[in-house]
Structure 1
């Protein structure tokens, strides 16, 4: 009969004695990046099996677990046959936006309209001249008799109001 905790002590000693060997094995077989994870998995499998105390040669049993783990990983990485299907234009065509997107777009449009109506008059005018009439900052400045910097200021204010309205809504 074994004393309580003796399995943990024996496993700890076995782990310390064999870890470097197992790690080196995996570095040669699987590479430096995968080696630590694979080594950890080998010792986890050994501990779960409970074979450390039953095996006549636990080092050989550990090596067998390591080989089996490499075989399992190779099976998982084996490329599967690729299936090719002909392109069906009707099935694979881009579908129109669904109803939810249309509703959200309409809600966003209403939000922008309310936000533009709530803007100060000069800011609203500059914003609409730029966004609706597609006028340049120079054209807006000439039309209103202000500097380009003033037009830029009002555009920044208008865009900040729009951003804040959207952020508050969603």
Structure 2
């Protein structure tokens, strides 16, 4: 006996999820247990005893729900507010991240210094002074198309230098 899992999922997943929600699970927990039920069904070897896949799915779900409740009773999950979690987490970057970022910044700086003056100036106006392409083009007295070409050229050059490392 072979089960068509796609057809079974399409037919019974919503019903299974409602079954679990009606027994007190949150929407996310019900969705997780529904997926776990189908995963168990996929890995199970169908026998003559499981000739009704819908009933078998509900039995699997009920057993997973019992296991879920046992785990919760032994180690209850406590909800922590986002503000409290942020208070515990250290917002500062790690020392490794700081060193890495400084190295990348130095490489970017060196790559910018290698660019022709007009290209570098267009890139700095666009990225550092946050001007639009039209504003940069007006400032360096070029067309917007040519200005955008210079900025793209600067991006490519910087990326190439950063990849070399």
Verify same fold: TM over 0.5. Answer: yes
Q: Describe the SS at the equivalent of 2:157.
A: helix
Residue of 37, 40, 64 corresponding to 2:42 = 37
Structure index of larger Rg: 1
Task: Give structure 2 stretches of 5+ with no counterpart.
Answer: 14-36
> 1:116 Cα deviation (Å)?
0.2
Asked if 1 retains the 8 angstrom alpha-carbon contact of 2:133 and 2:147, the reply is yes
Contact (CA 8 Å) 1:42, 1:69: kept in 2 or not? no
**Which residue number corresponds to residue 139 of structure 1?**
135
Using the TM superposition, give the Cα deviation of residue 93 of structure 1 relative to its aligned residue in structure 2, in angstroms. Answer: 3.8
Question: For 2:122, which of 113, 120, 126 is the aligned residue?
Answer: 126
Do residues 155 (structure 1) and 151 (structure 2) align?
yes
Equivalent residue, structure 1, for 2:95: 99
Correspondence for 1:75: 63
Q: Which residue pairs with 1:84 in the alignment?
A: 78
Q: Quick check: 1:129–1:135 contact (8 Å CA) kept in 2? A: yes
TM (normalized to structure 2)? 0.55
CA contact (8 A) 1:141 1:151 kept: yes
Cα pair distance change 1:37/1:146, threshold 3 Å? closer
C-alpha displacement at 1:119, in angstroms? 1.1
2:122/2:150 contact within 8 Å kept: yes
In the alignment of these two chains, the number of paired residues is 125
The reply to whether residue 63 of structure 1 matches residue 45 of structure 2 is no
> Gaps spanning 5+ residues in structure 1: where?
1-18, 44-61
After alignment, is 86-95 or 109-118 more displaced?
Answer: 86-95
Q: Give 3-state SS (helix, strand or coil) of 2:105's partner.
A: helix
Structure 1, residues 98-120: CA drift from partner, whole Å, max 9, x if none? 11111111011011101101112
TM-score scaled by structure 1? 0.54
Residues 111 and 37 (structure 1), Cα distance of their counterparts in 2 relative to 1, 3 Å cut? same
